[in-house]
Amino acid sequence: MAISIDTLVPAFRWLRTYQRSELKDDLVAGVTVAIMLVPQGMAYAMLAGLPPVIGLYASTVPLVVYALFGSSRHLAVGPVAMVSLLVFVSCSRLAEPGSDHYIAIAVLLSLMVGAIQFLLGSLRLGFLENFISHAVISGFTSAAAIVISLSQLKHILGIHVASGHSAFSLLSETVQRLGDTNPVSVGIGLSSIGLLLLLKRKYPLFPAPLLIVIGGTLLVYLWGLRDAGVQTVGKVPQGFPSLSLPEIRLSAVRHLVPTALTILFVGYIESIAVAELVAARKKYTIDPDQELKGLGLANIVGSFFSCYPVTGGFSRTAVNYQAGARTALASFVTAVIVLLTLLFLTPLFSFLPNAVLAAIIIVAVLGLIDVEDARYLFRLKRANGWALVLTFLTTLAIGVEQGILIGVAFSLLLFIWRSSRPHVAELGFLGEEGVFHDITRFPEEKTYPQVLILRIDASLYFANMKFLEDTIRRSIEDRPDLRWVVLDFSGVNDMDAVAVRTLEEMMDTYGERGITFTYAAMKGPVRDLVARAGWTEKYEKNLIHASVQHVLRGIGVLKENG
């Protein structure tokens, strides 16, 4: 079967119909995002333990590649805080942050993330992100935002702090070094944070990060604040890196696999969430598998140009959308402006204070701390709230990688526990309305001494059949006059072989005691399954009925008019 060029390169879908009237909006949006991305990219690279220029590299080629192969027309791809923190946590265990070896490991990590993303997208496994619950992501991002903020205090205070991977280790080390605080650096950092918060609140579309970058750089240059101990970015290489293959070391690959998977899922969830939000408003669709392939190619190609892992950023995508972007051409414009910055403007950044970049990071991640979401989850479903709290606390206390892994493991265990205990309701008949309801909610409904009616609200498989068997057994023991067990299967979408065998054993066992099982509202796929199991030949032909009413009328308990 032939594959169309539109399938291979989704950008051709909008390029073919591109109109000149859209160009102005894309140019404005592209410039707006670039103004935001240049200081952010440098700040996030510093958070990742990389030279700031690596953040600019990661803001060029990956944007163009994703614009060609991604399915979103508005997603702004580039460095983000969460991925940058994960890069630092993992790579700092293998090399000294900022060293050539460290950069090589970060670039290798980009290649690994991209390769896994592309493979999952090609295998159409985008649905796997559904296994990380919203509660886990919320708890992780809130805790990671605190860890990120604490990791930047050393730049605000102008002190040296050993690399830490948990909030407590970072806070402890920072407190011990408070005596070395540089008051000038503190003044620059706090002023930058205050100005960013003020402008973000009053003028959300104003390029505040660029303003404080320019202001901080001029302040250090004109007043000679380097002599006062203010730490700056220093020399930033000019120009674009040449094409080179990432250095692949098997020992490093083995160590980086858990981080690559964590970055993949965390980054993908952030990307797909904002991409689908904007796409819904602009009335086009997002292909989750194509998103994985687009992000994968962006990271793979980016690794050939000294880039570290990137993903779609929530705040930049929101700005891109609000600035009026019509198509992915806006990303091309952004990449060109960042490239021009690399070619001509990097010498101006040598006097840029680290405290300014730290302020940009802190303000950017403050919005990730979501207390209201925790309250909402506890109010709605306490188990989800505890999943959030567990992820939050373990991320703070142990580290970001362990935190999200423990959160995911807890969520999956919670899912397994829930699915192993299916909801089973005993039904009674409400004659006035002619319907059946759960008698625990409607105790006035009529029940029958010789008939037990149970509705099962879950698919049945090996892990929950013991619970169902025990539930049915307890219900039968309470009814000495029981002759019929009616199982309402309207909520059963599927069964496995163990479920079929268990039901057969129950029917045989209780049949010897004069209790007959019958089924109502069994769905087509389940009906086909029991037919293949030979139920039609083994049991009575009236085993399966269209509804509970049909069963009761068939056994003479319910009259035709009642």
Give domain limits for the chain.
22-368, 424-554
Per-residue confidence (pLDDT) for residue 15, from 0 to 100? 84
pTM above 0.75? Answer: yes
Per-residue confidence (pLDDT) for residue 541, from 0 to 100? 66
Per-residue confidence (pLDDT) for residue 57, from 0 to 100? 96
Q: Is 19 left (phi over 0), alpha (psi -120 to 50) or beta?
A: beta
Angle between helices 100-122 and 250-282 (to 10 degrees): 60
Residue 519 forms beta bridges with which residues?
A: 487, 544
Where helices occur in 166-228 by DSSP H, the ranges are 167-176, 183-202, 208-223
C-alpha distances in Å from residue 505, one per residue of 110, 266, 508: 54, 45, 5
Map residue 95 onto helix, strand or coil: coil
Query: Mean pLDDT per segment of 10 residues, for the chain of length 562 residues?
Result: 66 85 91 90 94 95 95 93 92 92 96 96 82 83 89 92 77 90 95 93 85 93 92 89 88 92 87 85 88 96 96 87 89 95 91 93 85 90 91 90 86 89 90 79 84 94 94 90 93 94 94 92 93 86 84 79 52
Q: Is 504 left (phi over 0), alpha (psi -120 to 50) or beta?
A: alpha
Per-residue confidence (pLDDT) for residue 158, from 0 to 100? 92
Encoding tokens for residue 160? 């040296």
Per-residue confidence (pLDDT) for residue 126, from 0 to 100? 77
Residue 455 forms beta bridges with which residues?
A: 425, 488
Map residue 284 onto helix, strand or coil: coil
Q: How far is CA 63 from the centre of its chain?
A: 20
Amino acid letter for position 491: G
DSSP state of 430: E
**Contact predicate 390/408, CB 8 Å:** no
C-alpha distances in Å from residue 166, one per residue of 48, 360, 394, 485: 15, 21, 9, 56
Encoding tokens for residue 298? 């962006």
Q: How far apart are CA 23 and CA 29, in angstroms?
A: 10
Per-residue confidence (pLDDT) for residue 1, from 0 to 100? 46
Q: Work out the number of other CB atoms within 10 angstroms of the CB of residue 550.
A: 16
Question: Would you identify the CATH topology of the domain 424-554?
Answer: Transcription Regulator spoIIAA (3.30.750)
C-alpha distances in Å from residue 167, one per residue of 148, 269, 397: 9, 24, 6
